[in-house]
Amino acid sequence: MALAVDRHLAILAGISLSFVAVKALKRFIKKRQNNAPLSPGPVSLPLLGSVLSIDAYEPWLTYTEWGAAYGDLLFVRSLDEEMVVVNSQHIAEALLDKRSRIYSDRPYLATLVPYGLSINFSFIAYGDEWRLCRRLFHQTFRPESAAKFRPMQIKRAREIIVNLVDDPENYYNHFATFSLSVVMSAVYDYDISARDDPMVQTVIKALVPGLTLITPERALLLKTFPFLLKVPDWCWGSSIKRSARGSTERINQMADMPFRYVQQHMADGSLLARSSMVAENLRRMERQDEAFKPVFENGLKKAATTAIIASYETVTVGGSFMGLE
Ligand SMILES: *[C@@H]1O[C@H](CO)[C@@H](O)[C@H](O)[C@H]1NC(C)=O
């Protein structure tokens, strides 16, 4: 695997070596004090850990290989991230399902908040906010609700065939339109137009570059040098800050545009007869404590946007490999 580290990052990474080395040493000392043995795992290089040995596109192949050598529960360090790889369904169920109260969490990614991606609630740490988002999400997307979406899916399936025949060049947009239309209608009661819909364009603009920006190298850099987000625009090294700001703007637009659409339609009464995840919950919010309203609204916006992200990624992952950045 080749790590595509650009020149700025390489220089900054050089400066960061000493910081990380000090950290690694502290960690080592702490571990000795805890005396808790780690599971076996591959030998790790200083600073890099095992990042160079992990297949970046199909990491599970590497983990399976290591599983044969080190067992079903193995310890890996990748850059400064410490990971435990679970290679058996039995252990996964015992830890992640039966003891989910202890093990339900997400790793901290220093790029998440600066790049606006904390809107994706499946990235956020286990806690009250996560539970609220998860509950709102589940109300709309539980398995029993699937049948409700079928008429819309059939209608859109016909449309995508016509679009593919008419305009095969733009197949990427047609797939994005298809995968988003069902969820957009359930979440916002928004009817995507068959071609060039402005909301679909906002989603593509926000998500196609989004995931390629939050690389592990960048996360490590921001974790080590948080001041990189504060350097003035004219200063050397401000490219990370500027790309983070651009990403946050695009992602906020993707989250706000359809949300405002629902609020406006509710205000002028045109959505009264129809329902959607956002409209129903905004109505429910009316009856809540003033103090809880902003928390609830924020959770609702995250749950709604995460549904959009999920539907988009399920069908259209790979956009960044198709020259769309
Ligand atoms: C959202 O979070 C999930 C789970 O952590 C991840 O697989 C997905 O790629 C994320 N998508 C975006 C756009 O952040």
Residue 36 CA, ligand 1 centroid: distance in Å: 32
Of all protein residues, the one whose alpha carbon is nearest to atom 3 of ligand 1 is 122
Residues 70 and 62: their CA atoms lie apart, in Å, by 12
pLDDT higher than 80, residue 250: yes
Given the CA of residue 309, which atom of ligand 1 is nearest to it?
A: 13
| Closest-lying ligand 1 atom to the alpha carbon of residue 117 | 14
**What's the pLDDT tens digit per position in 266-322?**
888 775 556 899 999 999 999 999 999 999 999 999 999 999 999 888 765 544 434
Q: Is the CB of 211 under 6 A from ligand 1?
A: yes
Nearest alpha carbon to residue 201 among 257, 282, 240: 257
Residue 12: pLDDT above 70?
no
> Which of residues 254 and 215 earns the better pLDDT score?
254
| C-alpha–C-alpha distance, residues 128 and 125, integer Å | 9
Return the best residue to mutate from 105, 112, 123, 251 for the ligand 1 pocket (most ligand atoms within 8 A of CB). 123
Percent of the chain with pLDDT over 90: 38
In whole angstroms, how far apart are CA 67 and each of 20, 126, 219, 290? 28, 28, 27, 52
Q: Which residues of 288-305 are buried (b: 16+ CB within 10 A; e: fewer)?
A: eeeeeeeebbebbbbbbb
**What are the start and end residues of each CATH 1.10.630.10 domain in the chain?**
128-322
Specify the pLDDT at position 82: 84
pLDDT > 60? residue 6: no
Instruction: Please report the pLDDT score of residue 278 as a whole number.
Output: 95
Q: Which of 34-48, 67-81, 239-253 has the highest mean pLDDT?
A: 239-253
CATH 1.10.630.10 fits 128-322, yes or no: yes
Q: Please, which residues bridge with residue 78 across strands? A: 49, 81
Mean pLDDT, to the nearest integer, of 145-163? Answer: 88
Residue range 113-140: average pLDDT? 92
